[in-house]
Structure 1
Amino acid sequence: MAAISETEIHVELRNAEAALATLGERETRLWERVKITPTQWRHNQYPNVGPVWVVAVMGKRCLYYNAVEGGWGWGRFESWGIVADYHWQQDEIQHAIHFLLFAIDNGGMG
């Protein structure tokens, strides 16, 4: 399966940011600090799935759009541009940001 186009990821991200606008101040500040320009990254876990679009980075974690499931998920990376730990997540972006904030507050997501 091919990755979605750059135009499509920008549409998904615009829709996601509309949902993020309803979050609290801490979540909004966090999003502003971790988001990056959408960039395609490779992964080696599922050879039939093309690259994913990464839209945020925090430490050694990256937030990507899973086009197969239609949602957002955090993965681990060791080298910039390669998701080492890709999951079939399909969270709404605001849930992914809440997850990150919870992990920061509670020492998780190592």
Structure 2
Amino acid sequence: MPWSPITYLNLQNEIREAEKELSSNLSTFWNFIRIEPEKWNEEGYGEEGNGFWVVAIMGKQVIWYNDIEDGFNVSLYFKYGVIEEYACNQLPLNIVLLQLWNRGSNTIFGFQPGTPTSLK
């Protein structure tokens, strides 16, 4: 059976199923970062399906659905509408959100602040 990209309706179903699994804190977090799904470009693998669906934005990171691998991923972006790095983690959305939530509990959106450089 040939591959075809996920439809908007099927993506919405994936999101609704994941939302059922979210704790109160994760649901609040999700509602803060989520966007209406939109197709973004990714130069390595995204051309065949006219890009990948981005479902959330956090600073310079996006959560997006990889319909080639059937899972959600987190990647950086520098230009709105363009996913910088391909990933194929095959994770459900609720697990991606939990991982980001756990990382963010000690850091700022998953990034540990670096050690200051001396000016002397």
What SS does structure 2 have at the residue aligned with 1:13?
helix
Whether the 8 Å contact between 1:35 and 1:56 is mirrored in structure 2 is: yes
Of all paired residues, the percent bearing the same amino acid is: 26
RMSD between superposed Cα atoms in Å: 1.8
- Normalized per residue, the structure richer in helix is 1
Q: How many residues align?
A: 107
Residue 46 of structure 1: how far off its partner (Å): 2.2
- Partners in 1 of 2:56 and 2:46 — Cα distance? 23
Structure 1 unaligned residues grouped into runs of 5+: none
1:98 counterpart residue number = 98
The one-letter amino acid of 2:7's match is: S
Structure 1 window deviating more from structure 2 (9-18 vs 70-79): it is: 9-18
- Deviating above 4 A after TM superposition, structure 1's stretches of 4 or more consecutive aligned residues are none
What SS does structure 1 have at the residue aligned with 2:101?
helix
Residue 67 of structure 1: how far off its partner (Å): 1.0
Structure 2 unaligned residues grouped into runs of 5+: 112-120
**1:6–1:102 distance in 2 versus 1, CA, 3 Å:** same
1:28 counterpart residue number = 27
Query: TM-score with structure 1 length normalisation?
Result: 0.84
Q: Which has the larger radius of gyration?
A: 2
Query: TM-score with structure 2 length normalisation?
Result: 0.78
